[in-house]
Amino acid sequence: MIMSRTPFRISFFGGGTDYPGWYRENGGAILGTTIDKYCYVMLRYLPPFFDHKYRIRYSLREETQTIDEIKHPSVRECLRFMNPERGVEVQHNSDLPARSGIGSSSAFTVGLLNALYALKGKMVTKRQLTMDAIRIEQEQIQENVGSQDQTLAAFGGFAKITFGGAQEVTVQPMIVDADRLRRLEEHFMLFFTGFSRNASDIAGEQIRTLRNKTKELKMMAQLTEEAVDILSSNSSSFERFGELLDENWKIKRSLTTKITTPFVDELYETARRCGATGGKLLGAGGGGFILFFVKPELQPKLKETLKNLILVPFSFENLGSQIIYYKPDNNY
C-alpha cells in the first residue's frame, strides 16, 4: 500500500498568464503558495481475487477490466502514461471539496503520479512530477488548464513561478523572513461560497479571449512583480499587498463574464465594507473559495457578517507532494 499527500494551492497574482497559449509567446509569472489542506491518494496492486482488474474509489466507484473503460479522466490517463504491470486499486480522499478553485484536479493528478512512481519503486524529482502532470492534463486529457496548479502541488511552498523560455517552468521560492511570513498569513481569511463549478468551462472561455486581453494580462503580470517586491522587502507594508489583490481582482473579473456572479460581487463588496483591503475568488472563477485580505483586528467583524459561510483556517506549507506511507505489497 502506498499513500501520497499533495497540498492544495492559493494563487495570489498572475493567474491567466500561466496558459501555454499566452506564455509561449509572451512569458508569464504567478505568485502563489500551497496550504496545509491536502489531497490523499491510496494506491496498491489489486490482489487477484476479483473479477475486475481496476478499482477506483472517489465520489463514485468504478470497477473495470481495462484502462480504457475507466471514466475518471485523470486516473485513466495517468494509468495509460505509467502503464503499471498489474491491475491497481486507487482511492481518493480530500480535505476540501473539488471544483472549488484550490487546484484540486491537478493536486490529484500530481499525487496519483507520485504514488504510481512509488509503486514501480521509483523516486522522481518535483520537476518531473510537474512536467508529467502538465502533459497529462493539457495534452492527454486536453483540459483547459494552465501550468501553475501542477507546479505548486508538486513543489509546494510560497513561490514565484515563471513560464516560458527553454525551461518552460521555473520555480523561485520566496525568501521571506519566517516571522514576516507568519504575519502575512494572519491577514488572510478563506471562505467557501457554497458553489462548485467546472473550472475547465470557465477557463476555456478565458483562453479563447487571450489575444483580446493583452493589456489586462500584462497589467496582472506587473502586479505580480510588485507583490514579489513587497514580500522581499522587510520594510514594506502588507497593506499594499492587499491593495494589489483588489486591483488584481478588478482586472481578473473583466477577462470574461463567467468569472464572477452577482452573489460573488455582493459578497466581495460586503467584505470590503467590513474592512477587507482586497481579495479574490480562487481558481478560474464562478464560485468555490474566496480569499480576503483583512487586518487581524478587523477579522471578527467580517467573520460575524459572513457567519453563514464556512470559514476555513489554514497555514502555508512548503513540502509539496509527498509519499507519506510506503509498504510494498506481497507478490502473488
Q: Give residue 209's pLDDT.
A: 63
CA 196 to mean position of chain CA atoms: 15
Q: Which of 307, 282, 329, 330 is nearest to 10 (CA)?
A: 282
Q: Give residue 134's pLDDT.
A: 98
Helix (H, G, I), strand (E, B) or coil at 314: coil
Pair 193, 263: CB distance under 8 Å: yes
Q: Give residue 149's pLDDT.
A: 96
Neighbours of 125 (CB within 10 A): 10
Looking at the chain, how many residues does it have? Answer: 332
6: phi then psi, degrees, rounded to nearest 5: -130, 130
CA 30 to mean position of chain CA atoms: 12
CATH no. for 2-175+317-326? 3.30.230.10
Residues of the chain under the 50 pLDDT cut: none
Q: Give residue 161's pLDDT.
A: 97
| Nearest-angstrom CA–CA distance, 315 and 54 | 36
Residues 6+ apart with CB under 8 A from 146: 15, 16, 18, 19, 20, 203
Q: Give residue 330's pLDDT.
A: 72
Pair 100, 283: CB distance under 8 Å: yes
- Alpha carbons within 13 A on the beta-carbon side of 283: 30
Q: Give residue 204's pLDDT.
A: 59
Helix (H, G, I), strand (E, B) or coil at 50: coil
Q: Give residue 56's pLDDT.
A: 98
Q: Where do the CATH 3.30.230.10 domains begin and end in the chain?
A: 2-175+317-326
Pair 293, 209: CB distance under 8 Å: no
The helix (run of H) or strand (run of E) holding residue 54 is strand 54-57
Residues 6+ apart with CB under 8 A from 110: 6, 129, 130, 133, 150, 153, 154, 321
| Nearest-angstrom CA–CA distance, 116 and 46 | 13
Q: Give residue 301's pLDDT.
A: 97
Tens digits of residue pLDDT in 74-132: 999 999 999 998 999 999 999 999 888 899 999 999 999 999 999 999 999 999 999 99
Pair 47, 34: CB distance under 8 Å: no
Question: Which residue type occupies 44?
Answer: R
Pair 97, 199: CB distance under 8 Å: no
| Nearest-angstrom CA–CA distance, 39 and 321 | 9
CATH no. for 178-314? 3.30.70.890
Q: What's the chain's Rg over C-alpha atoms? A: 20
Q: Where do the CATH 3.30.70.890 domains begin and end in the chain?
A: 178-314
